[in-house]
Amino acid sequence: MPPERIHITTAITYSNGPPHVGHAYEYLAADSYARFMRRKLGKKNVTFVTGTDEHGQKNRDAAVKAGLAPKAFADQISAMFKQAHAGLNISYDYFVRTTDPVHEAFVQKMLARSHTSGNIRFREYEGLYCVGCERFYTEKELLPGNLCPEHNQKAELLKESNYFLNLEKYRDRIRDQIKRNRDFIRPERYRNEALKMLDEPLADLCISRPKARLDWGIELPFDANYVTYVWYDAFWAYLSELPDTSDDALKAILPVTEHFIGKDILKTHAVYWPAMLLAVELPLYRSLNVHGFLNFGGARFSKSSGNVADPLAYEANPGPDVLRYFLLRDVVYGLDGDFTEERLIERYNADLANDLGNLTSRVLSMAARYFDGEVTAHPASNREDAAICEAFAGVAPRSDAMLETLAFNRALEVIWQALDAANKYIVATSPFTLAKDPAKLPRVAEILANLLEGLRVVADTLAPFMPVTSRKILDLLAIGESIAHAPFGQGLKPGHHVKPATPLFPRIDAKRS
């Protein structure tokens, strides 16, 4: 049974460098899901949180390298991410910075609660520590030579006294939740991977760093000589700046929370985060939606490799929604994907310029040429039209069903199947030829009524995926939100006037570098 209220989050992005297309994929997927849910549940029943994770050693080291104080550096990077979100039309409700005072106070509150309940203990520890991951590893988790599997760098042997959260206490409860609820972690491959992580007893999680080694963090409320572990800090950003953070409010919002994260942080979200919640007697989230890596020409996006691509560059040229469409159509959610500009241009020309753009232009041009932009007939007026009307009527329910399961690519494929059917319908019915005979103009009017109504349905269904393009098409059709959402056949009525065609997606020279 789907919830009546939903809370959606992206990972709180580490702010040690500028945003790139790899970041954009997660934002765009979560944003499309949030837009879809707002249409389904109503705007007031959906909240969407994103933000920047600004504490920790990597951020401090990046600030030192840039010759800035950590907070000044975090201010710069966080502003870049806000700019990227605005440029990509990310419709978040809350942008949380982990240096916000309200967030810091909330984290200290949760630390104090967990400590008071006896779930946090102090002891000396010696272990292998990866600076890049900012966490301790066991030898079993590392590659030969004690190399970190994420950064391919040797983990350092570190010995110090710290505070630890007891994970083993909650292992069975977390495992039972994953086993009972198949949607708790999706896609399935990551659910199975998480279960394997919980097969054996869990070591305690180090949740502090001594100020003598790292003072850039939130001070522990029970020991001023320590700051909290950056992951313990960042998780609470999913909730910390909501209007109501009382226990009653948190117990209502967590069971309807959908987290969107990358596969590299599966363990932190599938093991650490549930234990942190249970340690303060809060319920677990609804779903963990895990995506794969987005590679760039076969290599993973990374600042160190120098293959960082600015997502806003693709919003400026070739234009709004193009990057969004490419990533959601070309990448199967949960699997790794590969981004190249050449592939993006191929998709642009074939799908956007040829299919969607050309259909919109042809239909509106015929409406203007033959009827001065007026709709003069009802859809589905002829037996020959039954198939196209059926295709358009099924677009929204079929696409929505795919989006529910995070199959963004298949949801878009449904829409493009309808566009293909519409283009074939034009060839089969040949309204250009019919219009040469004045006696056949009533039949042309029927054909255009079907196509204009179908274009309306397509534009409306596209809204979660391509919000700018959807608005442009609906504006050309001269309709508001209430008519936009109507089922096929109940939207454009005789007497309605549409606007003249304007180019949506001019073709791009494939030789462009």
**Mean pLDDT computed over every residue of the chain:** 92
Residues 285 and 167 in one domain: yes
What is the C-alpha to C-alpha distance for residues 289 and 355, in angstroms, rounded to an integer?
31
pLDDT tens digits for range 309-329: 678 788 878 889 999 999 999
Residues 393 and 476 in one domain: yes
Residues 106 and 187 in one domain: yes
CB distance 111 to 104 below 8 Å: no
Label residue 308 by pLDDT band (50, 70, 90): low
Residues 361 and 425 in one domain: yes
Report residue 213 as tokens: 């080694």
Give the rounded percent of residues in the chain with a pLDDT score beyond 70: 96
Residues 378 and 269 in one domain: no
What is the domain extent for residue 137?
Answer: 6-316
What is the C-alpha to C-alpha distance for residues 507 and 270, in angstroms, rounded to an integer?
44
CATH number of the domain encompassing residue 367: 1.10.730.10
Label residue 513 by pLDDT band (50, 70, 90): very low
Q: How many domains does the chain have?
A: 2
Instruction: Render 349-418 in DSSP notation, one character per residue.
Output: IIIIIIIIIHHHHHHHHHHHHHHTTB--S-SS-SGGGHHHHHHHHTHHHHHHHHHHTT-HHHHHHHHHHH
pLDDT tens digits for range 227-239: 999 989 999 999 9
Give the rounded percent of residues in the chain with a pLDDT score beyond 90: 80
pLDDT tens digits for range 51-103: 999 999 889 999 999 999 999 999 999 999 999 999 999 999 999 999 999 99
What mean pLDDT is predicted for residues 383-409? Answer: 95
Report residue 204 as tokens: 């305690």
Label residue 1 by pLDDT band (50, 70, 90): low
pLDDT tens digits for range 39-56: 999 999 999 999 999 999
What is the C-alpha to C-alpha distance for residues 320 and 336, in angstroms, rounded to an integer?
24
Residues 180 and 283 in one domain: yes
Residues 312 and 348 in one domain: no
Residues 16 and 157 in one domain: yes
Collapsing DSSP states into helix, strand and coil, what is residue 55? Answer: coil
Q: Is residue 175 part of a domain?
A: yes
What mean pLDDT is predicted for residues 360-371? Answer: 97
pLDDT tens digits for range 450-502: 999 999 999 999 999 999 999 999 999 999 888 999 999 999 999 999 999 99
What mean pLDDT is predicted for residues 407-421? Answer: 98
Query: What is the predicted pLDDT for the residue at 176?
Result: 97
CATH number of the domain encompassing residue 76: 3.40.50.620
The angle, 0 to 180 degrees and rounded to 10, between the axes of the packed helices 322-330 and 21-41 is 90
Q: Is residue 408 part of a domain?
A: yes
Residues 252 and 347 in one domain: no
Query: What is the predicted pLDDT for the residue at 410?
Result: 98
What is the CA angle 57-58-59, rounded to 5? 90
